[in-house]
Amino acid sequence: DVQLVESGGGSVQAGGSLRLSCSASGYTFSDYCMAWFRQAPGKEREKVARMDNRYGTTYYPESVKGRFTISQDNAKNTEYLQMNSLKPEDTAMYYCAAARGTYVGCPTVRGGYTYWGQGTQVTVS
């Protein structure tokens, strides 16, 4: 069975940093696209980072570009999200998600991701 398990969330003051981890099992990690999404209360779930693990290519929306960095450790089947210069508006539940990559790339919408973790809370005050 495919499993994604996030860790590393917590409470931090504005300007601080956190690193989230997503430990994956049950599939060939390096063949997949991995993404981090977040959802704040009353808001839509939004993508904050994506990596095509086949090629190492990444995507970030403008809201986090320059502050968040996604990375992978294929030997550990783990994806990371380094978050720096955190702002109160970054407060949300953060989820990692996985989808098999295709010849056109990675899914661009939330519905394209097949597997999801349970989430880890990030609170910035």
The CA angle 21-24-25, to the nearest 5 degrees, is 155
| End-to-end C-alpha distance for the chain, whole angstroms | 37
- Please tell me the distance from the alpha carbon of residue 50 to that of residue 47, in angstroms, as a whole number: 8
Under 8 Å between Cβ of 101 and 52: yes
How far is residue 124 from each of residues 20, 29, 63, measured CA to CA in Å? 14, 31, 15
- What does the pLDDT read at residue 41? 92
pLDDT digits (tens, 9 = 90+) for 63-111: 999 999 999 998 999 999 999 999 999 999 999 999 998 888 999 889 9
pLDDT digits (tens, 9 = 90+) for 17-45: 999 999 999 888 888 999 999 999 999 99
